Amino acid sequence: MNWTSHEFIWLDWVIIVVGILAVSWAVWRSIQKHNRLQQGADSEDYLFGKGEPWYIIGAAIFAANIGSEHLVGLAGTGAKSGVAMAHWEMHGWMILILGWLFVPFYQLMNSKLGKIITMPDFLKNRYTPRTGSWLSIITLIAYVLTKVSVTAFTGGIFMESLLGLPFWYGAIGLILLTGIFTVLGGMKGVMTLSAIQTPILILGSFLVLFLGLLALGSGSIPDGWSAMIDYTKSLNVGADGVAYGTNHLFHFETGNPLYDEYPGVWVFLGASIIGLWYWATDQHIVQRVLGQQKGESSDVVMMRARRGTIAAGYFKLLPVFMFLIPGMVAAALAARPGSGFTLENPDMAFGTMVKFVLPAGVKGIVTIGFISALVASLAAFFNSCATLYTEDFYKPMFKGKSEAKYVLVGRIATIVVVALGIVWIPIMMSLGSLYDYIQGIQSLLAPSMVAVFVLGIFSKRITPKAGEIGMIVGFIIGMVRLLTNILTNTGKEIMTGWYWDTTTWFWQTNWLIFEVWLLVYIMLMMVVVSFFTPKPTAQQIEFITFTGDYKTLLQNSWNKWDVIASLGVVAACVAFYIYFW
């Protein structure tokens, strides 16, 4: 047997088949045991899960974020642009904001309303019912266009690079498998799969990193790291002949080819806006921390949720080393004569590295973790879509139905999302660069979400109508910008005519700079509108502002170890920025 084969051998395929069956059995057994304890269907349990330990919550948050866009897009970006995109991954500190600032509001609303809330519930109580409905609509559209389809699309690429499956077999197979898994397993299935795949994914990815560095450094990991850094320093050559390198997080010189894409500190500001929306207000992530056991006190639930976010903060430090840097190693290996490693497409960097550096048998074990990660991530999106539709549209219209009926409706909503995701894939493939498409959508959706949530919490004077107008107008502006991006190839095409000549600032401004100013504009507009519209009621302010209940919950739900652990996350992020400045 050739243990050092750079391709999958029969042993790997046997391990993959047996491993998938074992994981499926473990998830099924966990779900059956949980259902017996629950004694019947429960829509909140199906959609949210209940009472998971803090380490399971942390693993679930991490797993919900890790998808095929990391296995393909992040590793591919590392191979092409180095650490420039690491801003989006150094968001462990942002998850702390979820745990320390936002979760107390969500938990207080849970206890006051007597149910587990969704993010639209949050906005309906602070602003108007239309504000929450708009958030549901925008979120569902975003999930179908930028989450489900993208995960399936990049999953197809990953399966092609790793297993040699034709693209469409991998993409459609992944989305159908995940749809079935989500319908049958619900949130408990997602949580269980997350707990199983997270250690395999982490260990497997770091094994790829270390073995890749060993190969690059001729048997020495430090030498491999130095060789990778030296190679990245020679890249990114400008018109002036200077090699600006791809080993920097910030690109300040206008002659730097990466400046136009990631200009100076704007990249940090833009990434932070997207991060605040995603980690603190997006249903897909927040849903992982909302589950609770009946009869538990708010401070116990809050403590478990916060510790889950702290654990997720540490987990979030890992993807740069799990995916982005292996992409950089792959590029350096491919450039070294005689290495035997070739890389025709940067987006296949990670899958190709798995085949090249891992020994036989280990390839199969690691692949099980990767497939589980793809399913868990995609299942989390499906489940969030089912939650939004069931809780925010179906339940208000059809009250008093049985729990089994609500679970069925959630499953039907999942099937619809699966179908829409498959239909959208060929359309998305015609829209140009996938990664630019993802970031462009996120940068246009995030500002209105961040403005409405942040001002709603920090200011008692922002009126309900201001929140509604901020959400709608911000979304419309973002969609108009998206349309111009499609028509102008993200501002690269030369367009003429009365509209294009008079609105150059709108369609040619760098996407990160546009995102920051869009946030500023929406916030200012909400402040102005608040001067001319009715003030929020006392109940609206009580729900979502810094009341005595909020401060009491915060004080009773933490100890010094929570603070020390949180500071550790911040310190690790700061150290990374210092090293790759």
Q: Structure tokens of 348?
A: 């296949």
**Dihedral angle of Cα 56, 62, 68, 69, to the nearest 10 degrees:** 160
Q: Report pLDDT digits (tens) over 231-275.
A: 998 888 877 777 888 888 998 888 888 888 888 889 999 989 999
Residue 506, pLDDT above cutoff 90: no
Q: Which residue has the higher pLDDT, 102 or 276?
A: 276
User: How far, in Å, CA of 445 to CA of 474, rounded?
Assistant: 8
Residue 518, pLDDT above cutoff 90: yes
Residue 44, pLDDT above cutoff 60: no
Q: Report pLDDT digits (tens) over 341-357.
A: 888 778 788 888 888 88
Inter-CA distances, 197 with 13, 345, 359, Å? 18, 27, 20
Inter-CA distances, 65 with 58, 377, 406, 424, Å? 11, 6, 27, 21
- On whether the CB atoms of residues 120 and 135 are closer than 8 A, the answer is yes
Residue 159, pLDDT above cutoff 90: no
User: How far, in Å, CA of 223 to CA of 266, rounded?
Assistant: 34
Nearest-10 crossing angle of helices 103-113, 119-126 = 80
**pLDDT band at residue 469 using 50, 70 and 90 as cut-offs:** very high
Average pLDDT over residues 402-426: 77
**pLDDT band at residue 41 using 50, 70 and 90 as cut-offs:** very low
Give me the domains of the chain, ranges plus CATH numbers: 51-288+318-431 (1.20.1730.10)
Average pLDDT over residues 393-409: 77
**pLDDT band at residue 470 using 50, 70 and 90 as cut-offs:** very high
Average pLDDT over residues 24-40: 66
- Residue 479 neighbours by CB under 8 Å, 6+ apart: 444
* Beta-bridge partners for 237: 243
**pLDDT band at residue 573 using 50, 70 and 90 as cut-offs:** very high
> Closest Cα partner for 54 from 174, 187, 195, 179?
195
Q: What pLDDT sits at residue 219?
A: 84
